[in-house]
Amino acid sequence: MKTVVVTGATSGIGFAVCAELLMRGCRVIGLGHSKKNCRAAREKLLLINPAYDVTYFWGDLMQQTEVVRLAGRIKSDLLRNNGGELAALVNNVGCVRSWYMTTGEGYEQQFALNHLSGFLLTHELFGPLVKGGGVILFTSSGSHKLMKMNWQDLMFQRRYRPLYAYKQSKLCNMLTAFELNSRYAGQGIRAYGINPGLVRTEIGSKNTGKLVDFVWKQRSRHGVDPSVPARVYGDMICTGQKAEGLYHGAGGLMKHSGEVNRKNAVKLFEISESLCHIRFGVSEECLS
């Protein structure tokens, strides 16, 4: 049985992905922000099928200390139940913020949650992913094509533009997937950016101002149910053969932005390593 970790797993796309994977026979470890939401999500899934093998852990993925703590719990779980192997990691969690807000570690919140949390969690679970020949999926967006990296002010501290910060975080997802493939595809893992399309979710209505809330609601009115893109995630994880290319959606392989290139990918990867105080590489765990 494949074990898959899904972040942002209590609502929206993340919850739908959990339901899809469980229906396909996977074992799922979901991550959510609060104990209450995690319990409610698990109960809802078990109402669909009491035999589903689903576990939830909760914590604030904006905080790097919490990412590391949760990764430790996941690795312990994998050793007990799956021989230390992880078949897939779905880095889906995300947020939108109307104002410049920082985490306890000093990073802009959209950059911290939408990009750095997945970057760091991938690093922390790299050993189990290599053991499992894993797939790494990032929930990106077609909006990544509308941005260039704002290298001079990466977290928009000098002039905060919430939707620019969001679009850049989706470009970061694409660049991270690109560089993971460049460095580590030879070790049996593959990373992809997923474009879920317009989806009816509440991400833009949580802790946002009236303008961002209005724009997001207008967009999501025309969106599909989260169960529709969830099938794309299921196909990428469960088909048994890793897909070609980097960027996928409901129509299959898609064309990504020209900004997704090796120069930008290497630069972002190295900056992200520095911000997370880590260095990617083959761990002793992978080689044992």
C-alpha separations of 97 from 26, 32, 102, 111 in Å:
33, 18, 10, 10
Question: For position 222, what pLDDT does the model report?
Answer: 63
C-alpha span between 261 and 269 (Å, rounded): 12
Confidence of residue 158 (pLDDT cuts 50, 70, 90): very high
Instruction: Please give the pLDDT value at position 197.
Output: 87
pLDDT confidence bin for 8, thresholds 50/70/90: very high
Q: What phi and psi values does residue 118 have, to the nearest 5 degrees?
A: -70, -35
Q: What is the mean pLDDT of the chain?
A: 92
Mean local confidence (pLDDT), 24-33: 98
| Between residues 194 and 240, the one the model is more confident about | 194
pLDDT tens profile 94-152: 999 999 999 999 999 999 999 999 999 999 999 999 999 999 999 999 999 999 999 99
pLDDT (0 to 100) of residue 287: 35
Lowest mean pLDDT across 80-89, 114-123, 195-204, 243-252: 195-204
State residue 218's pLDDT score.
Answer: 59
> Is residue 65 pLDDT above 70, yes or no?
yes
Which domains does the chain possess? 3-287 (3.40.50.720)
Cross-strand partners of 247: 193
pLDDT at residue 229, rounded to an integer: 93
Q: What is the tens place of the pLDDT at every residue in 180-203?
A: 999 999 999 999 999 998 887 665
The pLDDT confidence band at residue 206, using thresholds 50, 70 and 90, is low
- Tell me, letter by letter, the H, E, C secondary structure of 274-286: HHHCCCCCCCHHH
pLDDT (0 to 100) of residue 288: 42
Based on the number of CB atoms within 10 Å of its own CB, is 76 exposed (0-12), middle (13-18) or buried (19 or more)?
exposed
Plot region of 190 (φ>0 → left; ψ -120 to 50 → alpha; else → beta): beta
pLDDT in tens, 209-219: 566 556 555 55
